[in-house]
Amino acid sequence: MTFFDYRSVENALAGCRWGHTLFTYESIGSTMDRARELAHKRAPEGTLVIAAEQTEGRGRLNRAWISPSGSLSLSLLLYPSPEKMPYLTMLTGLAVAEAIESVPKLKADLKWPNDVLIGGKKVAGILVESGVVKDRSFAVVGIGINVNVDLACFPDIASIATSLSGESGGPVDALLLLRSLIDEAESLYTAFDPTPLRALWRKRLITLGRQVKATSGDTVIEGTAIDVAGDGALIIRQNDGTECTVVAGDVTLRQ
Ligand code: BTN
């Protein structure tokens, strides 16, 4: 089993601005809950909670997120300015895709709003939650990556999910991947500029130009995904020609 022990993670992140306040777990309920607790204790920006396994990992829309041994589960505590807050999913998606391309050197795509895919199968997911403590807004950025996971052991998701080890044909160094991910995310966050950020994200979105079915609450919208708005909302041209903007929801890509 992979275990992100404190010293190894600390060494892997030497020189990074984030991760100085570090919590590592062999197994935890959800890193999101631990990071939120730490926000309430006024933990500093860049506090990192990392686990080798989660027993109650959660994804968007309150779905369960399977995080077995071999996966990488982490939550970062940030105190973004109000301008940065809406861009955290975008920024994190880009950082994950770049890290996957630089460490196991696999081509990664993004699917709106927060999925990281390899060859059309999900390899990583991002969950951003926010809150306020004593008038100060915080965000918890959760990232789950199937690093060294054998999907054959998870037949329920094997047709829609993949792992880095499965795609590269051998084990992937999770600590090198983590380092690359934190480097990318830190630099996008520090040099924050929404225009190039959106442009980079847009370029990686495989959703654009595709026939999609978007579900947002009880509303279902079908049509062609034509663009993303400045804030990342998805613009869909419905088959009757009208355009619709989807701010949050789920998207299925049609063949
Ligand atoms: C999704 O695709 O729906 C988002 C998945 C996010 C999973 C990560 S794993 C680390 C952090 N802890 C959690 O419980 N969830 C996020």
Q: Read out DSSP for 50-67?
A: EES-BSS-B-GGG-B--B
Task: Provide residues with CB under 6 Å of ligand 1.
Answer: 30-32, 54, 57-60, 63, 65, 67, 73-75, 114-115, 125-127, 142-144
Residue type, 140: V
Question: How much of the chain, in percent, has pLDDT values that exceed 90?
Answer: 91
Rounded to whole angstroms, the Cα distance separating 236 from 231 reads: 15
pLDDT in tens, 171-186: 999 999 999 999 999 9
pLDDT computed for residue 2 by the predictor: 61
pLDDT tens sequence across 34-83: 999 999 999 999 999 999 999 999 999 889 999 998 999 999 999 999 99
* C-alpha of residue 30 to centroid of ligand 1, in Å: 8
The H or E element spanning position 190 is helix 174-190
Best mutation site among 36, 61, 73, 141 for ligand 1, i.e. most ligand atoms within 8 A of its Cβ? Answer: 73
Handedness of CA 213, 211, 207, 237 (dihedral sign): negative
Q: How far apart are CA 32 and CA 30, in angstroms?
A: 5
How far, in Å, CA of 155 to CA of 167, rounded? Answer: 17
Q: What digits encode the pLDDT tens for the residues 197-243?
A: 999 999 999 999 999 999 988 899 999 999 999 889 999 999 899 99
pTM of the model: 0.95
Angle, to 10 degrees, between the axis of helix 174-190 and the axis of helix 88-102?
140
Distance 49 CA to ligand 1 centre (A): 12
